[in-house]
């Protein structure tokens, strides 16, 4: 018999039960549901709705259900629709009348909102922990590659010389912003909706401050309609996850490119590569490709939940049951991708020689040669043209700017002096970009030092969170 069957004269159809039920996926919320019920029982006791004995019996009953679920012996049933009613039904079966009192001054609407917020709070911390490991990995590799010269690109054409450290620290900044976005999202998730009940709160004087404190929330929701119908926090988390996935995907795209024969900048470790079933020579970057590919499903989840919510009148509508799979799939995906990204990166073989060789080609020092002239008084536009002609000359001869002799330079402009021969090397082009944010090893070192402080502080903050 359904817990709500009083006003019905017929049973629901089996097909309806299967269609309506969310137990196959919301069973993931069992711990939060049980914790929420225990705290709700405290509030019921405090306002005299249940006795001390009843509260104790509810607590024991819920703990025995928790144990059975964790032991894998609890039988979930689609007949009881969702995690909330499966647990409530089992509780009443186990402890009798007191179990029937638990749902006083509560609705599944504030119950599900509570469970989801409690669940997401823990998960946000978990994603942050994984992100900080990735930040750490990026910093470690960067520190080893402060002097690894490589071309920086625009339009995927060689542009100006940078270092691998400078390139990877760009990703450090992206993932750091993601971590900060998660902190912000946590703040808004950290609000207790319990007491909103179905939509219009309750006539019982439930102590919302008590439940807020016992459940470890920072505050409670200020409007009962909003308390049960807000899913912004889930949408916000999926959008932050989408940005994380977009960043991961860009990095993966570069790793895939860099591991091609044509680039040859890196080689993926065997442990994170696959072979081909037909082509014996192949070593494929499947992990990076899968991360790039899984980005699509997270973007899809974001669009799904936004679309579910966009036309819903206040307050709760059953459409909102569709929030969970999008959220769970996002969590599983982003956590799996972050987990594998760090070891894949830290086991990469970096072919410094190939990066240096590429930096010697492609005229990526042309801007520096033009800057040289303009620092000696040649208007930049004129300098640009002179160096453009030099590049054309080199292209004809199949050489690079740094292969030219002083005489070659002086033929193009008498302003060139002996010191051009030092300035033209990719190494000195990098070293002289010595302003904050630039690729000069001295600057990237400073960036790495501040990154290490951020990582240390964030790790210690996260280790203090349960």
Active site residues: 155, 276
Contact of 415 with 425, CB cutoff 8 Å = no
Considering only residues 1 to 60 of the shown chain, the ones binding ligand ARG according to CB under 6 A are 22, 26
Minimum gap (Å) between residue 261 Cβ and ligand ARG: 51
Secondary structure class of 386 (helix, strand, coil): helix
Contact 227, 112 (CB under 8 A): no
Q: How far is the CB of 77 from ligand ARG (least distance, A)?
A: 14
For ligand ARG, which residue of 37, 92, 109, 301 counts as binding (CB under 6 A)? Answer: 109
Site string for ligand ARG, 327-366 (x = CB under 6 A): ----------------------------------------
Q: Is the dihedral of CA 306, 310, 312, 313 positive or negative?
A: positive
CB of 230 to ligand ARG, least distance (A): 13
Binding window for ligand ARG (CB under 6 A); candidates: 200-208, 279-287, 316-324, 381-389:
316-324
Tokens 């025995």, located at residue: 64
Choose between 109 and 425: whose C-beta lies nearer to ligand ARG: 109
Name which of 217 and 316 has its Cβ closer to ligand ARG: 316
Shortest Cβ 67–ligand ARG spacing (Å):
24
Cis preceding linkage at 7, omega within 30: no
Distance CA 208, CA 214 (A): 10
Minimum distance of ligand ARG from residue 85's CB (angstroms): 8
Report the C-alpha gap between 441 and 302 in whole angstroms: 40
Rg (CA), the chain: 30
Complex with ligand ARG: residue 109 or 160, whichever CB lies closer: 109
Select the residue interacting with ligand ARG from 69, 112, 114, 131 (CB under 6 A). 112
Binding-site member from 40, 108, 247, 433 for ligand ARG (CB under 6 A) = 108
Select the span of 203-211, 274-282, 314-322, 367-375 touching ligand ARG (CB under 6 A). Answer: 314-322
In whole angstroms, what is the distance from residue 385 CA to residue 223 CA?
66
Please report whether residue 316 would count as binding ligand ARG according to CB under 6 A: yes
Q: Of 10, 155, 310, 318, which lies in the binding site for ligand ARG, with binding defined by CB under 6 A? A: 318
β-bridge mates for residue 157, sequence order: 154
Buried b (16+ CB within 10 A) or exposed e, 325-363: bbbbbbbebbbebbebbbebbeebebbeeebbebbbebb
Interacting stretch for ligand ARG, rule CB under 6 A, among 106-114, 218-226, 233-241, 392-400?
A: 106-114
Closer to ligand ARG by CB, 163 or 321: give it. Answer: 321
**Is residue 415 a contact point for ligand ARG (CB under 6 A)?**
no
- Which positions from 70 through 89 interact with ligand ARG, judged by CB under 6 A? 82
Does an H or E element contain 219, and which?
strand 219-220
Three-state DSSP string of 137-183: HHHHHHHHCCCCEEEEEECCEEEEEEEHHHHHHHHHHHHHHHHHHHH
Applying CB under 6 A, which residues contact ligand ARG? 22, 26, 82, 108-109, 112, 316, 318, 320-321
């Amino acid at each position: 018999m359904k817990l709500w069957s009083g006003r019905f004269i017929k049973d629901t159809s089996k097909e309806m039960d299967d269609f309506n039920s969310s137990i196959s996926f919301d069973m993931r919320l069992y711990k939060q549901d049980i914790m929420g019920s225990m705290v709700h029982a405290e509030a019921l006791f405090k306002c005299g709705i249940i006795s001390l004995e009843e509260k104790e019996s509810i607590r024991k009953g819920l703990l025995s259900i928790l144990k059975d679920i964790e032991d894998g012996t609890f039988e979930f049933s689609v007949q009881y629709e969702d995690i909330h009613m499966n647990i409530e039904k089992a509780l009443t079966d186990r402890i009798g009348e007191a179990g029937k009192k638990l749902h006083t001054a509560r609705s599944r609407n504030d119950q599900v909102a509570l469970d989801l917020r409690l669940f997401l709070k823990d998960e946000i911390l978990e994603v942050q922990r994984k992100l900080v490991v990735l930040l750490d990995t990026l910093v470690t590799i960067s520190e080893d590659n402060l002097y690894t010269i490589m071309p920086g690109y625009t339009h995927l054409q060689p542009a100006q010389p940078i270092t691998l450290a400078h390139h990877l620290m760009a990703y450090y900044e992206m993932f750091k912003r993601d971590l900060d976005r998660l902190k912000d999202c946590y703040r808004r998730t950290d609000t207790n909706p319990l007491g909103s009940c179905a939509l219009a709160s309750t006539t019982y004087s439930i102590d919302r401050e008590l439940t807020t404190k016992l459940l470890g929330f920072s505050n409670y929701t200020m409007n009962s309609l909003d308390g049960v119908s807000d899913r912004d926090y889930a949408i916000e988390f999926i959008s932050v996850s989408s940005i994380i996935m977009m960043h991961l995907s860009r990095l993966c795209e570069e790793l895939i490119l860099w591991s091609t024969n044509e680039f040859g900048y890196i080689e993926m470790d065997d442990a994170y590569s696959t072979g081909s079933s037909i082509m014996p020579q192949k070593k494929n970057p499947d992990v990076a490709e899968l991360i790039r590919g899984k980005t699509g499903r997270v973007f899809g989840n974001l669009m799904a939940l936004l679309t579910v919510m966009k036309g819903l009148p206040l307050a709760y509508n059953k459409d909102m049951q569709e929030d969970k799979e999008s959220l769970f799939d996002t969590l599983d995906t982003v956590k799996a991708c972050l987990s594998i990204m760090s070891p894949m990166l830290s086991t990469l073989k970096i072919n410094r020689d190939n990066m240096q060789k590429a930096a010697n080609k492609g005229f990526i020092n042309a801007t520096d040669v033009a800057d040289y002239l303009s620092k000696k008084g040649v208007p930049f536009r004129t300098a640009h043209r002179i160096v453009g002609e030099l590049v054309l000359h080199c292209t004809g001869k199949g050489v690079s700017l740094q292969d030219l002799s002083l005489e070659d330079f002086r033929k193009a402009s008498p302003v060139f002096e002996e010191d051009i021969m030092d300035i033209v090397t990719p190494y000195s082009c990098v070293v002289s970009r010595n302003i904050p944010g630039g690729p000069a090893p001295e600057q990237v070192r400073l960036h790495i030092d501040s990154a290490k402080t951020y990582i240390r502080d964030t790790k210690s903050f996260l280790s203090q969170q349960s």
